[in-house]
Chains A and B, each alone.
Chain A
Amino acid sequence: MSVESNAAASGDELITVLNPAVTEKLAERVSLTKRPETLEGKTIYLVDMNYEGIGGTPVMREMQRWFAKNMPGVNAVYRLKRGNYVSDDRELWKEIKEKGGDAVIMGVAG
């Protein structure tokens, strides 16, 4: 038995009300970029997004050490993003592209 028929069976008055909900528009889909098969021999930028604003997080530095020790064939470049954590840094993105950056690890957001 449906909720509605349950309600009707209970003898309570049925009420019709307007719906407050709005319809949200879905975003146009965008494909991700094709991935390389391996990171070996590649340049990976570790971009600190400067979440707390002063000097970045040590997590990214620790990650750079991890690559040096565990994947020495990866050129892991550390960079602190300019501006605060919500601002874009087009100069850096352009630089990464021009210098042949193969991938970006960005963090850490809280």
Chain B
Amino acid sequence: MCGNLEKQYGIPTVSLANENIVSFGIGAHFKYSTGMPLRFVGMPYPFTGLSDQTLKTYLEGKDNVSGKPVMQAIVDCLTTPLTDEEKIAGPSPEAASEPRFLPPDTEENLQRLFKDRDWTDFNPIILPTEERVAAMLEGTSHKPDEIVKTNSGTFGTTRPFTVEKVAIIAVMAGAKPEYLPVILAVASQAPYSDSTTSNASMVLVNGPIRNEIGMNYGLGALGPNGEANSVIGRSMVLIHKIIQGYKEGVSGFSSLSNPLLYNYMTIAENEEALPEGWEPYHVLMGHKPEDSVLTILMGWNFVNCGGSVVEHYAPQLLMRDFTRVLAGMGSVTLIMDPSVADLLKNSQGFETKAALGEWLSKNSVVPAETYWANSIASGMMGPMGDQGLEPYATWRKVPGNTLIHHLPNPGNIHTIVVGGETASVWFITDFMGGRGVSIDAWR
């Protein structure tokens, strides 16, 4: 926004931000996104819920960027004449192109090099020799030099990559050639969502390719118990780092990060175990059953039901109760064992996944103050409420203890069935995904 003010309106600006935003703003964001060396003043964090005295201390403290007192630094940012560097306008020189091959070296040195360049998950990788990459490329009909996507960097910066780059990463992750269409579909969805608030993404595969490549959607499916699941998830980890260029502390600042990022919870739906009338996720999103589809969902929370379903409290009631802990984005994705789906269908009468979503939408409530205490809700929905958008406008006005129906859109409540039927376990998440993309297009 400061860039717009400077560029379009000719108004000098200074941005106040905490250290991570400053670092990004004067680093990767300037270099690859804005092209503007915006002036920043670094503030301590947090900056809410503070006493007046602490606030004064902030303003009387030192700017993290210049080391000057904060207010002096602000005034200087607005009055100091531009440097020659800040006056530069026009096309930037092309960045040095990455060579197709790395200099020959030993296995040990190359493993170290890949780790040092932040191209791994810090486990050993399979070195991508030309022969291995050529064999991997047999897994797709697409040409090695075909551009998969151009705007793949964090915040959509220009990082064009080819089918060959994806095949290299697939080799590194330990993939078989038959996994490559899925991995290409995963790569086509970069950049993935990142936030300082430690969110995560998850990978869902539907359709025939699940069986063709042996994905585990049965016993232990959410754990490290399936080769295809593990390797496809690992590929996404490497794509995030290498293709998207995500580097913690440089282009992203996820405070705690998230354990789901070790494998992006790569799963396939157990379509064969769905109760009658419950359709697979991709079919509900408008695809044909015979289509193979990839969906990347994003969210914050992933909560176990706390054991398994009990006789004396129906599963949908506990699901309703557990919606209170979700991030306030109005989305739910339930991940449940087939035995839970059977109970919901045959004992509780939910004839479809949609019926369960409608029931949860109608019955899930949370005190307004709890909803707004969530920074995802307050940061994103609060301003919409202040501008009059319902239901947020009403929720902003009601007393804090008023129970609000915080999942107003049943269309944002989804169910994925997966698991081995050894316990009636379910997870509730606030993950949200779109329609999904074709894997078949990458065969």
B289 within 8 A of A: no
A-B residue pairs in contact (CB < 8 Å), sample of 12: A10-B106, A15-B107, A17-B130, A18-B133, A20-B128, A22-B161, A24-B245, A32-B37, A54-B382, A59-B58, A104-B2, A107-B15
Quick one: which of B128, B160, B372 contacts A54, CB cutoff 8 A? B372
B102 touches A4 (CB 8 A): no
Contact assessment for A20 and B106 in the assembled complex, using a CB-CB cutoff below 8 Å: no
Do A88 and B106 contact each other (CB < 8 Å), given the known contacts A20-B168, A20-B169, A32-B36?
A: no
Q: Given A59-B47, A105-B13, 10 other A-B contacts at CB below 8 A?
A: A16-B130, A19-B102, A26-B95, A28-B92, A30-B3, A35-B81, A58-B48, A85-B379, A106-B15, A108-B47
| Residue pair A106, B14 in contact (C-beta under 8 Å) | yes
Whether A24 lies near B158 (C-beta < 8 A) is yes
Query: Which 4 pairs between the two chains have the least Cβ-Cβ distance?
Result: A107-B16, A53-B382, A27-B35, A25-B158
Q: Tell whether B242 is near chain A: CB-to-CB under 8 Å.
A: yes
- A96 CB to nearest B CB, Å: 7
What 0/1 readout, one digit per residue, does chain A (65-77) give for beta carbons within 8 Å of chain B? Answer: 0100011000000
* CB-based contact B35/A49 at 8 Å: no
Beta-carbon contact of A30 and B12 below 8 Å? no
CA distance A31 to B17 in the complex (A): 21
**B7 neighbours in A (Cβ, 8 Å):** 30
Smallest Cβ-Cβ distance to B160: which chain A residue: A22
Interface membership of B422, Cβ < 8 A: no
Q: Give chain A residues whose Cβ lies under 8 Å from the Cβ of B89.
A: 29-31
Within the complex, which residue of A27, A53, A110 is in contact with B46, where a contact is CB–CB below 8 Å? A110
Taking the closest CB of chain B, its distance from the CB of A109, in whole angstroms, is 4
Q: Please determine whether B98 and A22 come into contact, CB atoms closer than 8 angstroms.
A: yes
Binding site for B on A (CB under 8 A): 3-4, 7, 10, 12-39, 44, 49-54, 57-59, 62-63, 66, 70-71, 81-85, 87-89, 93-94, 96-97, 101-110
Contacts of A53 in B (CB 8 A): 375, 377-383
CB distance from A37 to the nearest CB of B (A): 6
Interface residues of B in 381-403 (CB under 8 A from A): 381-384, 386-387, 396
Contact A52 B378, beta carbon cutoff 8 Å: yes
A51 touches B92 (CB 8 A): no
A36 to B15, CA, bound (A): 17
Name the distance in Å between A73's Cβ and chain B's nearest Cβ: 12
CA distance A81 to B13 in the complex (A): 15
Q: Please state if A20 and B172 are interface contacts (CB–CB under 8 Å).
A: yes
CA A97 – CA B8 in complex, angstroms? Answer: 10
**Residues of chain A with a CB closer than 8 A to B98's CB:** 19, 21-23
A38 contact set on B, CB distance < 8 A:
79
For B9, list chain A residues within 8 Å (CB).
Answer: 93-94, 96-97
Residue of A nearest to B150 (CB): A25
Q: Shortest Cβ distance from B327 into chain A, in angstroms?
A: 13
Q: How far is the CA of A31 from the CA of B50 in the complex (A)?
A: 37
